[in-house]
Amino acid sequence: MRIGVTFPHFDFGPDRDAIRRYVETVVDCGYDYFLAYDHVLGADTTNRPGWTGYTKDNVFHEIFTLFGYVAALAPDLELVSSVVILPQRQTALVAKQAAQIDILTAGKFRLGVGVGWNAVEYEALGEDFRTRGRREEEQIELLRRLWTDPVITWRGEFHTITEAGLNPLPIQRPIPIWIGGTTEVPIKRAARIGDGWFPMGPIDDAQRAKLQLLRDTAEAAGRNPDQIGIDARIDTFRTGEENWERNVAAWNEAGATHLCVNAMNLDLDVNGHRALLERFAKVAMPAS
């Protein structure tokens, strides 16, 4: 397994120096990749009783801009979005931004995508929340065309492109597209058309059933399930440190190709994150 970190968006606010020091810690500890979430707007809950999920008080850095900065600080790190809410973004623009990050990382970028849950963002960005699943499937196919062909013509349900293309093209042609989501539909979508899947939550019987669904669907679609990556996550605010070694071993046994540590929601400063990442590295990468 390759071992990575989840960027703790909430903890550093607009402190550029803290972000830099965190990235330096990730490199110093020998982690393989840097994963970050994507949200554009947070909802004000004042007139939304019963709202659950992220709000205007949660800090999220714009993901592609953040990756440009991280690529300059740590050119050997793989960068991973988990996940860009693809249907609320313009596809050609995402293709351009992703291609640029792929170039800046020398071909070490994975574009994780998902349909999201926040209708507030869709409204603000001018996209239809109700068609997000169909739109994402078309977007994935279109992205791959844009990344591989210098000029394309496309007539789809949601997109029209007439004799146009990206320049420069990415190094990876196409960039790997991994899919997030924990219900049956996104798991099957990852199995049919994704390069990998992002499970969420601990490795338990329910999670193993989802992994089996991924494999069964891939086989039914004529794909080799062993060629579909699995990027799991250990949430340290849910999993006690005494269970880290057991969880790492369980994900390894379950076939995870990647595993990242998530230390958000612990209210740590940069020094606290450094200490935690150093301890987790000793468990997950004992030979490093």
The domain tally of the chain equals: 1
> Which tens digit of pLDDT belongs to each residue from 162-183?
999 999 999 999 999 999 999 9
Whether 286 has a pLDDT exceeding 90, the answer reads: no
Of residues 31, 7, 28, the one with CA closest to residue 285: 31
d(CA 248, CA 245): 5
pTM: 0.96
* Phi, psi angle pair for 141, to nearest 5°: -65, -40
The pLDDT score that the predictor gives to residue 151 is 98
The pLDDT score that the predictor gives to residue 280 is 97
Q: H or E stretch including 83?
A: strand 78-85
Whether 285 has a pLDDT exceeding 90, the answer reads: yes
Q: H or E stretch including 36?
A: strand 33-36
> Which tens digit of pLDDT belongs to each residue from 205-258?
999 999 999 999 999 999 999 999 999 999 998 899 999 999 999 999 999 999
> Which tens digit of pLDDT belongs to each residue from 43-94?
999 999 999 999 999 999 999 999 999 999 999 999 999 999 999 999 999 9
Of the chain, the percentage scoring pLDDT greater than 70 comes to 100
- Helix count and strand count (H, E) for the chain: 10, 10
The pLDDT score that the predictor gives to residue 148 is 98
> Which tens digit of pLDDT belongs to each residue from 16-45?
999 999 999 999 999 999 999 999 999 999
The pLDDT score that the predictor gives to residue 287 is 73
User: What is the rounded average pLDDT of the residues 260-281?
Assistant: 95
User: What is the rounded average pLDDT of the residues 6-15?
Assistant: 93
> Tell me, what amino acid is at 211?
L
The pLDDT score that the predictor gives to residue 119 is 95
Range of the domain at 218: 2-284
The full DSSP string for 198-254 is E--S-SSHHHHHHHHHHHHHHHHTT--GGGSEEEEEEETTTS-GGGHHHHHHHHHHT
The pLDDT score that the predictor gives to residue 265 is 87
User: What is the rounded average pLDDT of the residues 99-120?
Assistant: 97
Averaged pLDDT score across all residues of the chain? 96
Q: Cα dist. 202→112, 205, 235 in Å?
A: 20, 9, 8
Please report which confidence band the pLDDT of residue 288 belongs to, taking 50, 70 and 90 as the band edges: low
Of the chain, the percentage scoring pLDDT greater than 90 comes to 96
> Which tens digit of pLDDT belongs to each residue from 118-136?
999 999 999 999 999 999 9
Q: Cα dist. 44→50, 84, 88 in Å?
A: 12, 21, 19
Contact assessment for residue 112 and residue 82, using Cβ atoms and an 8 Å cutoff? yes
Here the CATH number for the domain that contains residue 272 is 3.20.20.30
